[in-house]
Amino acid sequence: MWPPADPEPAGAPDGPQTQSLRALLPTREFLCSRKGRLLLGESVLSFIIFICYIASTAAPFLTVPLLMFLLALCFFFGYFMKINEKFPGMCWPLSDFLRCITAAIIYFAISITAISKYSDGAAKAAGVFGFIATIVYAFDFYVIFNDLSKFLKQGNSANDTEAEKSEEEHSNSDSD
């Protein structure tokens, strides 16, 4: 029968379709975290830069912001859906670090070129947003680097104490 007889009341519980769609939205906790804000900022800046390059004469540079936008979105969804915890075989922090350092270097280079070589306003705007994106990506790889170095220091100290314990067990106590 068309149309449906009675729509759902406002206070009705959500159906299974609504629940499955909500699973695709990031939680407030993740969006308020530093990593969530950085990934969201990187995505937004890359999209803005992409749009600016589309509107400018510096169109050869639009591939970089498009790829960085897609990569930032992939990492954004990977972190908030906790895929990094489900697939521990992939070194997520190292992949993220390489993504950030590559993006920072490339954005810096194409921003200098866009500002110095092209005279239209959209290319200049893309260059300015590119410098902002360079700073955001550089801050992200700085944070990731600090986290990785703390993790590696903890791993080395645990390995050192295990090595000392095994050395003490195998040492000759008759050395007096």
Q: What angle do CA 39, 40, 46 make, to 5 degrees?
A: 90
Q: What is the pLDDT of residues 5-36, one digit of tens each?
A: 555 555 555 556 666 666 666 677 777 788 88
Using a cut of 0.75, tell me whether the model's pTM lies above it: no
Average pLDDT in the 152-169 region?
Answer: 62
Rounded to an integer, what distance in angstroms lies between the CA atom of residue 34 and that of residue 118? 35
Rounded to an integer, what distance in angstroms lies between the CA atom of residue 26 and that of residue 40? 11
- For 132, residues 6+ apart whose C-beta sits below 8 A from its C-beta are 45
Give me the DSSP letters along 79-108: HHTTHHHH-TTS-HHHHHHHHHHHHHHHHH
Q: Residue 163 above 70 pLDDT?
A: no
Q: Which residue has the tokens 């290319």?
A: 123
* Bond from prior residue into 3 cis (ω within 30 degrees of 0): yes
